[in-house]
């Protein structure tokens, strides 16, 4: 189809200052700076408008804008821009997380480059260095958020270590301590020997790693027992062997003792129902200080806990293995056991789940340690109840199961970290064993022998307070009263447990049962165009800043939003981003063409009785589009919002309405100029939340208004819905489309005109449109020597007879179509084979199966089309 944006009108006609081509780099920074300077993003706590609040998931101060952030921020910005236009008082609150482990690692690496450690500086000086780094280099992501177009309220930017948030942390710690919800205990925790700190369960990433399973005989003769382990080095800390109480093989050994090899110690054999008799030999070594399950067995049987490694996972037991790293000690201990004849079976490969530090990827070491914990039982129950009773809605609803699986089975949360950067635990210890927790308005105890706890709090502790601490809590501020509970939390399903559950627990506890947000809108992970996980090793990582530089922020945003189905992973590719850039260009050129041809927003729309069928059709299509978009926004289906608007803009407005209207626009029809202006005005408003920059530039040029951000969101006018006009234009489109498809299949050039006879147009009421049909389909009226060589049955009533003599090389066209048919048959056969393979269907991801089905449907449609084209060819 001829591009609707082509214009034969001289460029000197009005274009509202729009350049001939859209250049994102010339628009984006200028528009963003104006938005900020004019205060369009600033929320008013005193407003009488209904509130709409989103608190941004605070990115790490060490971070930069990656494609996951870009998706998350695009969705949030789309929602807040929508709500501003719908008349809400919108607060989108920005900020950053201090990222305890990650930030401390960054600064320690900088010190290491100077041959220094944090211990050379001391705690106070080191923390000063971190603040210096934060001021100079931290928070680069905030500037990158501006590049993306984030309409956040910069006047309310927060940081999890700022004074107000620190006060909130100290307040809630004190309150929970006094309510016996925070306690200190010796427990098995996850320990990172590289970061030298405890980790919570959610900071540990598990992967299936290859190891070796060795079977070791403890004791001698009939009183011996064999255990199997992948961690031979921990046997130095064994304090028992456990068997199941009903395992007949070991009944005679329960209550006896065996000698622990390499140590000379004697340890008991105990009966415990935790043991699985079917696994291995049915007997397990018990190392209470280095395994969480063994710790529980030890507690039940009163076993001692022997620590055999230091904080760096180096063996500390006196003897030949002392000073060896755990991975060095493992083969050395196995070799020593083999020398004594204690290895009773060959070592065999064994794949098992191993935890790794989410920051540095070091293998985590279970370690008995004195740490601070949150008693999560009552808090987690409240968090589960808030979703069950409907106070909080999870979108999509099916992901609620994941949420309940977590909160209903939550372990107590280890919140202390052995770091210097972070919120220091507000507890002081006295010379006589006193323990005092100090609130923000209390003075810590002084005097000889008093000292503050050395540890800091887990980063997630402070970010868990984010929805209310950023609004001024514990003070009862105007912001807290106006904007809490927040409206929607937008985040990836991967941190449903990391962050969402934490905020739920803290918000319900601190805010007297008021939930921290009404809706949790979960989106998926961004993947490449083939559905593959992004990884540097795969070479498929997308840098959104690179896309913004090359294609513009709007194209980047539209690409991400158009793939965002609720809870599903989001595939993206550079090709799709190029397509989104083309879409922005299409809007630009269409608006420029419209303005050059007199499109206007001045005055009321003409009465329906004054409108042509074409004008009534596009207005009706607009109303349907508004209704569809509203419905999809209500269910957080951003991909469908984008797809609906894309096809309305590209197909209905540009490819059809503008083309159909060119004759009357050229004649200066004020009615069509007003309708075209109205449609573009409404379309730009609808698109603004997703692609804000180009729509702002175009809307201001078209309307002369201040900003589209303040324009009212379109509402449905049912009086403009016209089924008859839509049916009439659908029939016209079908005729034109079928003729164009035939022309394309026959290899006719777009400019080549063909004689044709049209019959039956009047039966569907489109005979008055015959001149338009002929113009759009490049059809001439039949002359005296007209001979029909091909006939198209468009509908039961409408036929098109064409004279293609001299226009088509029949032999060459038949050969081309036969070649296409062979390719389509091969594609269909391959797809059917895959879909008929039960093994493939059972293992392939859903999106891969769906893609094969789409390929099959396309191939089958091609076969039908090619067969029709071959049949329509003139006989040689």
Q: How far apart are CA 410 and CA 771, in angstroms?
A: 72
User: Residue 207, Cβ neighbours under 10 Å: how many?
Assistant: 10
Complete DSSP assignment for 239-261? -EEEE-TT-GGGTTTTT-EEEPT
Q: How far apart are CA 309 and CA 325, in angstroms?
A: 9
Q: How far apart are CA 285 and CA 376, in angstroms?
A: 30
User: Residue 34, Cβ neighbours under 10 Å: how many?
Assistant: 12
> What is the per-residue pLDDT across 338-381, written as a single tens digit (0 to 9) for each?
999 999 876 677 777 888 988 788 999 999 999 999 999 999 99
Q: How far apart are CA 94 and CA 567, in angstroms?
A: 24
Instruction: Tell me the pLDDT band of 207, cut-offs 50, 70 and 90.
Output: confident
Name the DSSP letter for residue 1. Answer: -
**Is the pLDDT score of 1 beyond 50?**
no
Which of 177-191, 444-458, 627-641, 861-875 comes out lowest in average pLDDT?
861-875
Q: What is the bridge-based pairing of β-strands 526-528 and 570-572? A: parallel
| Contact (CB, 8 A) for 158 and 169 | no
**Is the pLDDT score of 202 beyond 90?**
no
* First CA to last CA distance, the chain: 30
**Is the pLDDT score of 5 beyond 60?**
no
> What is the predicted pLDDT for the residue at 471?
98
Q: Which residues are annotated as a binding site for ATP?
A: 536
Residue 283 forms beta bridges with which residues?
243
> What is the per-residue pLDDT across 537-596, written as a single tens digit (0 to 9) for each?
677 888 999 999 999 999 999 999 999 988 888 888 999 999 999 999 999 999 999 999
**Is the pLDDT score of 710 beyond 90?**
yes
User: Residue 310, Cβ neighbours under 10 Å: how many?
Assistant: 12
Instruction: Tell me the pLDDT band of 536, cut-offs 50, 70 and 90.
Output: low
Q: What is the mean pLDDT of residues 112-130?
A: 95
The 3-class SS string of 772-812 reads HHHHHHCEECCCCCCCCCEEEECCCCCEEEEECCCCCCHHH
Contacts of 512 (CB under 8 A, 6+ apart): none
How far, rounded to the nearest angstrom, does the alpha carbon of residue 521 sit from its chain's CA centroid?
A: 10
User: Residue 288, Cβ neighbours under 10 Å: how many?
Assistant: 25
CATH of the domain spanning 197-365? 3.90.740.10
The sheet carrying 204-218 orders its strands as 225-229, 204-218, 343-357
Instruction: Supply 522's token pair.
Output: 């979960």
CATH topology of domain 24-168+462-545: Rossmann fold (3.40.50)
Superfamily for domain range 550-721: Isoleucyl-tRNA Synthetase; Domain 1 (1.10.730.10)
Burial 393-417 (b: 16+ CB within 10 A, else e): ebbbeebbeebeebbeebebbbbbb
- φ/ψ of 247, rounded to 5, equals -80, 110
Q: How far apart are CA 437 and CA 686, in angstroms?
A: 54
> What is the per-residue pLDDT across 144-165, written as a single tens digit (0 to 9) for each?
999 999 999 999 999 999 999 9
Q: How far apart are CA 580 and CA 574, in angstroms?
A: 10
Q: How far apart are CA 262 and CA 218, in angstroms?
A: 10
> What is the per-residue pLDDT across 222-259, written as a single tens digit (0 to 9) for each?
889 999 898 999 999 999 999 999 999 999 999 999 99
**Is the pLDDT score of 530 beyond 80?**
no
Comparing CA positions, the residue from 627, 635, 593 lying closest to residue 488 is 635
> What is the predicted pLDDT for the residue at 346?
67
Length of the chain in residues, anyone?
A: 876
Name the DSSP letter for residue 23. Answer: -
> What is the per-residue pLDDT across 775-794, written as a single tens digit (0 to 9) for each?
999 999 999 999 888 888 88
**Where are the domains positioned within the chain?**
24-168+462-545, 197-365, 550-721, 737-872
Name the DSSP letter for residue 652. Answer: I
**Is the pLDDT score of 816 beyond 80?**
no
Q: Which residues are annotated as a binding site?
A: 536
Share of the chain above pLDDT 90, in %: 76
- φ/ψ of 427, rounded to 5, equals -125, 135
**Is the pLDDT score of 838 beyond 90?**
no
> What is the predicted pLDDT for the residue at 817?
79
> What is the per-residue pLDDT across 718-734, written as a single tens digit (0 to 9) for each?
999 999 999 999 999 99
The sheet carrying 427-429 orders its strands as 435-437, 427-429, 451-452
On average, the pLDDT of the chain sits at: 92
Q: How far apart are CA 586 and CA 580, in angstroms?
A: 10
Task: State how far the alpha carbon of 413 is from the alpha carbons of 601, 818, 851, in Å.
Answer: 59, 68, 42
> What is the predicted pLDDT for the residue at 497?
72
- φ/ψ of 64, rounded to 5, equals -135, 165
């Amino acid at each position: 189809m001829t591009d609707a944006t082509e214009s034969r009108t001289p460029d000197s006609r009005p274009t509202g200052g729009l350049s001939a081509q859209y250049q994102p780099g010339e628009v984006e920074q200028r528009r963003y700076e104006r938005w900020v300077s004019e205060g369009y993003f600033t929320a008013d706590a005193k407003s009488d408008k209904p509130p709409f609040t989103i608190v941004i998931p605070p990115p790490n101060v060490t971070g930069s804008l990656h494609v996951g952030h870009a998706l998350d921020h695009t969705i949030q910005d789309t929602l807040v821009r929508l709500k501003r236009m719908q008349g809400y008082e919108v607060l989108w609150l920005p900020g950053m997380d201090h990222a305890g482990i990650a930030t401390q690692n960054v600064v320690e690496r900088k010190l290491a480059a100077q041959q220094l450690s944090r211990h050379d500086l001391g705690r106070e000086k080191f923390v000063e260095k971190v603040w210096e780094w934060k001021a100079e280099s931290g928070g680069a992501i905030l500037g990158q958020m501006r590049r993306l177009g984030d309409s956040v309220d910069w006047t309310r930017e927060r940081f999890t270590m700022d004074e107000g948030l620190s006060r909130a942390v100290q307040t809630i710690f004190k309150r929970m301590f006094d309510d016996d919800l925070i306690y200190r205990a010796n427990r098995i925790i996850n320990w990172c020997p590289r970061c030298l700190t405890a980790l919570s369960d959610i900071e540990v990433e598990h992967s299936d790693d290859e190891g070796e399973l060795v079977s070791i005989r403890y004791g001698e003769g009939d009183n011996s027992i064999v255990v199997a382990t992948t961690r031979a080095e921990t046997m130095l800390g064994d304090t028992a062997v456990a068997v199941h109480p009903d395992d007949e093989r070991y009944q005679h050994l329960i209550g006896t003792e065996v000698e622990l090899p390499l140590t000379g110690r004697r340890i008991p054999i105990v009966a415990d129902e935790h043991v699985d008799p079917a696994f291995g030999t049915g007997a397990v070594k018990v190392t209470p200080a280095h395994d969480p399950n063994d710790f529980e067995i030890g507690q039940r049987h009163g076993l001692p806990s022997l620590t055999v490694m230091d904080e760096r996972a180096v063996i500390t037991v006196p003897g030949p293995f002392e000073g060896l790293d755990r991975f060095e000690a493992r083969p050395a201990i196995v070799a020593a056991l083999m020398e004594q004849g204690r290895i009773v079976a060959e070592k065999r490969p064994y794949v098992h789940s191993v935890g790794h530090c989410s920051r540095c990827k070091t293998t985590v070491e279970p370690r008995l340690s004195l740490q601070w914990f949150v008693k999560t039982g009552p808090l987690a129950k409240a968090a589960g109840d808030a979703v069950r009773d409907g106070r909080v809605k999870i979108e999509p609803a099916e992901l609620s199961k994941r949420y309940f699986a977590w909160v209903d089975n939550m372990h107590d949360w280890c919140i202390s970290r052995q770091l210097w950067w972070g919120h220091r635990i507000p507890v002081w210890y006295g010379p006589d064993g006193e323990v005092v927790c100090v609130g923000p308005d209390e003075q810590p105890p002084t005097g000889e022998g008093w000292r503050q706890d050395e540890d800091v709090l887990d980063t997630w502790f402070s970010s868990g307070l984010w929805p209310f601490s950023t609004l001024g809590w514990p003070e009862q501020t105007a912001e807290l009263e106006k904007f809490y509970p927040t409206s929607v939390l937008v985040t990836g399903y991967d941190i449903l447990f990391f962050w969402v559950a934490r905020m739920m627990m803290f918000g319900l506890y601190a805010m007297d049962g008021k939930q921290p947000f009404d809706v949790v809108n979960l989106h998926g992970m961004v993947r490449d165009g083939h559905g593959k996980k992004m990884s540097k090793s795969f070479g498929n990582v997308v840098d959104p800043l690179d896309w913004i530089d090359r294609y513009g922020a709007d194209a980047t945003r539209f690409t991400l939003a158009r793939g965002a189905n609720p809870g599903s992973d989001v595939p993206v590719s550079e090709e799709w981003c190029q397509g989104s850039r083309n879409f922005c260009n299409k809007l630009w050129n269409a608006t420029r063409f419209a303005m050059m041809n007199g499109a206007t927003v001045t005055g009321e729309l003409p009465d329906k009785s004054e409108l042509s069928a074409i004008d009534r059709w596009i207005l009706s299509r607009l109303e349907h589009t508004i209704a569809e978009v509203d419905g999809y926004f209500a269910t957080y289906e951003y991909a469908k919002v984008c797809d609906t608007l894309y096809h309305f803009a590209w197909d209905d407005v540009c490819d059809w309405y503008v083309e159909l209207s060119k004759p009357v626009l050229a004649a200066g029809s004020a009615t069509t100029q007003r309708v075209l202006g109205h449609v573009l005005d409404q379309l730009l408003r609808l698109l603004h939340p997703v692609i804000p920059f180009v729509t702002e530039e175009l809307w201001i040029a078209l309307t002369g208004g201040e900003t589209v951000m303040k324009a009212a969101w379109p509402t449905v006018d049912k009086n403009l819905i016209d089924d008859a006009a839509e049916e009439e234009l659908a029939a016209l489109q079908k005729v034109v489309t079928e003729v164009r498809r035939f022309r394309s299949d026959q290899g006719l050039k777009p400019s080549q005109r063909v004689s044709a006879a049209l019959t039956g147009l009047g039966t569907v009421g489109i005979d008055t449109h015959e001149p338009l049909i002929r113009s759009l389909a490049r059809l001439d009226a039949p002359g005296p020597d007209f001979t029909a060589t091909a006939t198209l049955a468009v509908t039961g009533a409408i036929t098109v007879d064409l004279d293609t003599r001299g226009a088509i090389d029949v032999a060459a066209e038949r050969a081309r179509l036969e070649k296409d048919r062979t390719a389509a048959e091969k594609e269909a056969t391959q797809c059917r084979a895959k879909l008929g393979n039960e093994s493939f269907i059972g293992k392939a991801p859903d999106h891969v199966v769906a893609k094969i089905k789409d390929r099959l449907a396309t191939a089958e449609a091609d076969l039908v089309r090619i067969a029709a084209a071959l049949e329509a060819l003139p006989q040689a």
